[in-house]
Amino acid sequence: MTVRAIVLAAGKGTRMKSSTTKVLHEVCGRPMLWYVLQALRAAGVSEIIVVTNGELQPRIDEFRVQGVVQKEQLGTGHAVRVALDAMAKQPGRVLIAYGDMPLVDADTYRSVLGALDGSGALALVTARVSLPSNFGRIVRGNGGVERIVEARDATEAELAIDEVNAGIYAFQEDDLRGAVARLRNENAQKEYYLTDTVADLIGAGKRVAPVVAKNPAHVMGINDRAELALARAEMNARLCADHMREGVTIVDPLSTSLEPELTIGRDTVIYPNSSIGRLSEVGERCVIGPSSRLSNAQLGDEVTVRESSVADSRAGDRTTIGPYARIRDGAQLGEDVRIGNFVEVKNSKLARGVKASHLSYIGDAEVGEETNIGAGTITCNYDGTRKNKTVIGRNVMIGSNTSLIAPITIGDGALTGAGSVVTKDVPAGARVAGNPAKPLAAK
Ligand code: UD1
Ligand code: CA
């Protein structure tokens, strides 16, 4: 039978002290909410509805789920009621999760669904934590869980209970609808507590099954920036572990930042202080780092990126980049390209074997195979209004400190002397030098 899920994410998250709604804060490059939805989908949930606020709702489409706005935050029980009003009545199980729990994995959602067998109305995840704590306390009687009491409504004796409510529930749909309709807001916060459904269902003679979380740290919600940093550390450690298990060497996971949805080939080595993100793909036997940053980068096999950054760009097999190079904005480096220190390549296509070893800017250019770009060469692509193109053929020798005033074309096999300022196209095989560059007498 289909499993549907309701994710509560309408809370403002006051303790974040932020103009951004809480569940949009990022953990390893993805909003917290993204992880919750991923885990629910991995657990087999087929339909998800997110209870949002006015700020989250306009962005909900990017998460490929239905969103429903809870105009006033009258409590978790009220939020669920808002969701149920937007859902078709349909027998089956409904998972409820909070959007600020990015570390909860699919197994936890599966286990709570598994605990809701034929005779039960509700299964919920509990956790043993150290006290004091702000979590709702699980009050057990001789027959099992009896009710949940929120910390602010609890007696001294109840506050001493170290089993708490994680905030993950699986309900039978009809039991959920009934219990939520009966909620009252007679409590310290004048809110409709979803947690009061426990006592309600027990009172109606139904069964409530607790599932104790294996790792309490993973079911902790994120409420402030310190907890956000802890969640990031845990998620990053998981991402590193996943790649190491698949044959990637990560010399220092603590100083390496990864994001979800990366491809990294076997025997690639990542040195310290490096980050890889935005759907990057890294081939096999590459060397990344130390101190490198890849963002939406596509690298072939045996590529080296040392103390450099590659953004929105690709590089072919055996190409080496760095130290201190910047490759950006749609640069396409072919195979066996050599990019050395203090070289910037922007929106340019460098064919196989091109070398630019020192101190150059190559922008809006096309460079043919095996061409050598001398130290200090600049493509002067901007004339104050427009970005102009530089086309350099194959086997060209651009002398040190050449300025190429675009738009310009340098033919195959041509040569420019050191210090040239090239203002006119250079035919194939020609040799020019000077400012402005003039043809040299044939040798
Ligand atoms: C809730 C539980 C508590 C549990 C804890 C676990 C209730 C009453 N209490 O407390 O037992 O130990 O979570 O983290 O459920 N939300 C809405 N609309 C609202 C109120 C909240 O969408 O009107 C959302 C929030 O965005 C958040 C989630 O529900 O994602 C939990 O709300 P929060 O106020 O953080 O509940 P807690 O006090 O932490
Ligand atoms: Ca909370």
Atom of ligand 1 nearest to the CA of 135: 12
Atom of ligand 1 nearest to the CA of 72: 23
- Cβ of 219 below 6 Å from ligand 1: no
Angle between helix 32-42 and helix 106-115 axes, rounded to 10 deg: 50
Which of the 8 DSSP states describes residue 286?
-
The fraction of the chain above a pLDDT of 70, given in percent, is 99
* Ligand 2 center from residue 316 Cα (angstroms): 47
- Cβ of 98 below 6 Å from ligand 1: yes
Q: Is the pLDDT of residue 64 over 70?
A: yes
Active site amino acids? 358
Say how far apart CA 441 and CA 443 lie, in whole Å: 6
- Kindly indicate the confidence band of residue 443, based on its pLDDT and cuts at 50, 70 and 90: low
- Cβ of 73 below 6 Å from ligand 1: yes
Q: Is the pLDDT of residue 442 over 70?
A: no
Greatest Cα pair distance in the chain: 103
Burial of 400 (0-12, 13-18, 19+ CB in 10 A): middle
Q: Which two tokens stand for residue 140?
A: 């057990």
Ligand showing the shortest atom-to-Cα distance for residue 194: 1
Q: Which two tokens stand for residue 114?
A: 């598994």
Q: Is the pLDDT of residue 441 over 80?
A: no
* Ligand 1 center from residue 76 Cα (angstroms): 6
Give CA angle at 178 (172, 184), nearest 5°: 125
Which of the 8 DSSP states describes residue 419?
T
pLDDT tens, position by position, 238-282? 999 999 999 999 999 999 999 999 999 999 999 999 999 999 999
pLDDT tens, position by position, 258-270? 999 999 999 999 9
Mean pLDDT across 170-198: 96
Pocket test for ligand 1, best of 15, 35, 76 (most atoms within 8 A of CB): 76
- Cβ of 331 below 6 Å from ligand 1: no
pLDDT tens, position by position, 113-172? 999 987 899 999 999 999 888 899 999 998 799 999 999 999 999 999 999 999 999 999
pLDDT tens, position by position, 207-224? 999 999 999 989 988 999
Using DSSP bridges, classify how beta strands 390-392 and 365-367 pair: parallel, antiparallel or unpaired: parallel
Q: What is the pLDDT of residue 368?
A: 98
* Ligand 1 center from residue 188 Cα (angstroms): 14
pLDDT tens, position by position, 406-418? 999 999 999 999 9
- Cβ of 322 below 6 Å from ligand 1: no
Question: Which pTM does this prediction carry?
Answer: 0.93
Q: What is the pLDDT of residue 421?
A: 98
* Ligand 1 center from residue 2 Cα (angstroms): 26
Q: What is the pLDDT of residue 133?
A: 87
pLDDT tens, position by position, 335-372? 999 999 999 999 999 999 999 999 999 999 999 999 99
- Cβ of 10 below 6 Å from ligand 1: yes
* Ligand 2 center from residue 44 Cα (angstroms): 25
Which of the 8 DSSP states describes residue 115?
H
Mean pLDDT across 287-308: 98
